[in-house]
Structure 1
Amino acid sequence: MSSFYYDLAMALIPGTIAGYYSGLLMAKVNKFNSLKFEALRVVRSINYLGDSKNTSVTRSEKTQDLHLIASELLMFKHQKSGMKVMAISNDVLDTLAACEFAPYDVALFEKQIAKWQLTLRGIKPSARLLLPWGQI
């Protein structure tokens, strides 16, 4: 009978620890992915009209959120990803200002949006994600 209790304890303790760790890992991955997809959504929400000589941005209220997303990534210790999002945020704001104050080619604007989306799709979480401590 004691063998049964020993086996039960040896199954429950590691199983509980493994379940906790996998749940924590999934929560961290989910948080990273939600920030990544929100950054993509912000870039995709830039509405513009234009021709070969001029680009007019009609709506871009959410672009300010890229700085907030970058700071959250940095807070969760995703340094490389946070810095990439911060660089994209600065580039987006500079490009929108250039479109507002000077003629800007729409083909160049479309290429930049495609480049921003490609960069955001490629960001990866840091290896610290695998550690069982830290913020979710």
Structure 2
Amino acid sequence: MDRTGRRIFTCADDNLVKIWSSTDGRLLMTLRGHQSVIADISDISVNDENTLLASGGLDKTVRVWDLKNGSPVAVLHGHTGGITSVEFCPTPIDEAKCLIWTGKDGGALCIWHWDSLTNEFGYGKNCCHCSRLFCVIALFV
């Protein structure tokens, strides 16, 4: 769900992210872009501002979407294997905003910083390899 509870997000083995109304169950929007013969989207995450949705799939990409109009914002690469988890880091500090994800390629962790004013991703991009890392959870304390 988004932060307001008005939208529900689903992803599946059809390469689609779907956005549903939680009040009446209507399909509001379908986000297309992931491409894979093994057509799974493995994880999705919504940023704290409810403006962006990130999806990670077995096509080795993380795609970022604008939730106002469903348009693509970015296609991010950094893994040689499928994406296992994706998470926006919740923080009120603009300089610390980032999107992190893990992949099937030996447990790599990628951290892409993003500018919330321009929605540009990548400055300060960093990928590190850890042993058997499959999931990530981001918390702001």
Common fold by TM > 0.5: no
Comparing both structures, which one devotes a greater share of its residues to helix? 1
Comparing both structures, which one devotes a greater share of its residues to strand? 2
Q: TM-score, normalised by structure 2?
A: 0.22
Q: TM-score, normalised by structure 1?
A: 0.22
